[in-house]
Structure formats: structure tokens, C-alpha cells
Amino acid sequence: MANTSRPSGLRPIRHLSGSPWNGAISIYYHSTANASAIYKGALVTSDAALDSPTCGPDPLGIYQSIMVAADDEPGCIGVAVAFGSQPQLLTLSTNLNSVNYCPASTGMYIGVVDDPSVIYEIEGNNASWASSNIGDNCDTSNNAAGSAVTGRSTCVADNAALTAATAQLRILRLVNRPDNAIGAYCKLEVMIAEQLIAGDMAAYATT
């Protein structure tokens, strides 16, 4: 049975320890000075151009500025999962202030899963995926694209970028579901292999 293509970016599912993802996020800021949208499930990175208070970052002066990551961005902070105009409400399940995504050139607080131990589900692109790809690394494609209706990113794992060297994602295994088979549009469990965490900021500086 062929897999159905329903790209929706990266979806956090659990930690490397086996414990379920508990919804924990960190708050970041998307400035009006940035002309790219961010959709739920997209990889994000530091917007180094806006780290100065004179460049229009977070009005509160607390939260780091971020932007959507390029498809081969080597220094990703994590995955965007929540959006809103008030940072203190993003972690509440009853938050009526939240929106589906962050439009381009819009000042908005964004909840990001930045724990490097989180495992995500992502769809593979339309390619000949094989069991031998498990353990490989790959970049993403369409990370900056998404739906303004659903708010979901259309980011997928890119088979054309498979490598044993460093890349954005490490492929752990095929998602174990009856509706998922190895091949085109298969659903994969991955971790962020090139994550911008403490100690790596100089190596992955955004230019």
C-alpha cells in the first residue's frame, strides 16, 4: 500500500530516554524586520542580525530573535510549535491568544522545542527511501513553506541530501504504524543533528 503524502513539518513525539514529549518549550521572538514567515513544525535558527536592541528585536528585551532556517541550515535552534503576541500565554493549553503561524514581517513570540534530546516525526519526500537509510543524516526541503490555513509547515526530509557526514537531521527509524511503509512519503523518526545549543553558537553563527 502506497504512503499518503501529508507533509506537516517536524512533530515532537518523545525524548531519547523513551519518555513522551511533555510539551516543554522555550520562548523566542520573530521581529517585524524579518520578511519570512514561520510555520508550525519548521526548523528555526538565530536571527543574528537582530540580536542588537537597536535592530528591532523583542520589545521586552528578553527573548532571542529567530528566523526560519534554510533547508541546509547547519545551526538550528529547534522546531516552532506555538505562536502568539503575549509570551506568558504560549505555554497554556487554554491560550486563546495563540495563532496558527507567524506571518512574514510580523512581531510575534514563538514557542520552540529546543531540547536536543527530542525525537520528531517527519515525512520523507517522494523518493526511493530504503531501510539502509536508517542511521544516515539528511537535510530538509520546503522548511520555509507552509499553509496559512492549517498553520503547518510543509517541511520534509530530503532523500537527495542523504549523507554519512553532518546534516540537519539524523534518521533513527521508520515510524511503526500500519499505514506507513518504507518508500516514497514514508514517515520517519529523526533527531536534529546540527542543533545550535550552548557552546556551539560560534560554530553555527548565522551570516
Of 66-70, 92-96, 115-119, 127-131, the one with minimum mean pLDDT is 92-96
In this prediction, residue 98 has a pLDDT band, given cuts at 50, 70 and 90, of low
In this structure, are residues 186 and 133 in contact, taking their beta carbons and an 8 Å threshold? no
Over range 121-141, report the average pLDDT.
94
Question: In the chain, where are the structural domains located?
Answer: 11-15+118-192, 26-113
Would you put residue 128 in left (φ > 0), alpha (ψ -120 to 50) or beta? Answer: beta
Segment among 80-84, 151-155, 163-167, 197-201 with least mean pLDDT: 197-201
Reported as half-sphere exposure (CB side, CA atoms, 13 A), residue 118 has a value of 21
Residue 164 burial (10 A CB sphere; 0-12, 13-18, 19+):
exposed
Q: Give the pLDDT of residue 75.
A: 87
d(CA 139, CA 192): 10
**Rounded distance, CA 48 to CA 107, Å?**
16
pLDDT tens digit sequence for 65-81: 899 999 988 889 999 99
Q: Does the pLDDT at position 200 exceed 60? A: no
Q: Which helix (H) or strand (E) holds 101?
A: none
C-alpha cell at 207: 551570516
Full DSSP string of 21-36: P----EEEEE-TT---
Threshold 0.85, pTM exceeds: yes
Q: Which of 199, 2, 22 is nearest to 113 (CA)?
A: 22
Residue 205 and residue 76 in contact, taking contact as beta carbons nearer than 8 Å: no
Residue 73 identity (one-letter amino acid): E
Q: 154 with 146: CB under 8 angstroms? A: yes
- State residue 84's pLDDT score: 87
Share of the chain above pLDDT 90, in %: 64
| Helix/strand/coil for 161 | helix
Helix, strand or coil, per DSSP, at residue 199? coil
Residue 142 phi, psi (nearest 5) = 65, 25
28 has which bridge partners? 110
Strand-strand pairing, 137-138 and 26-30: unpaired
18-56 residue pLDDT tens: 999 998 999 999 998 899 999 999 999 998 766 544 445
pLDDT attached to residue 90: 66
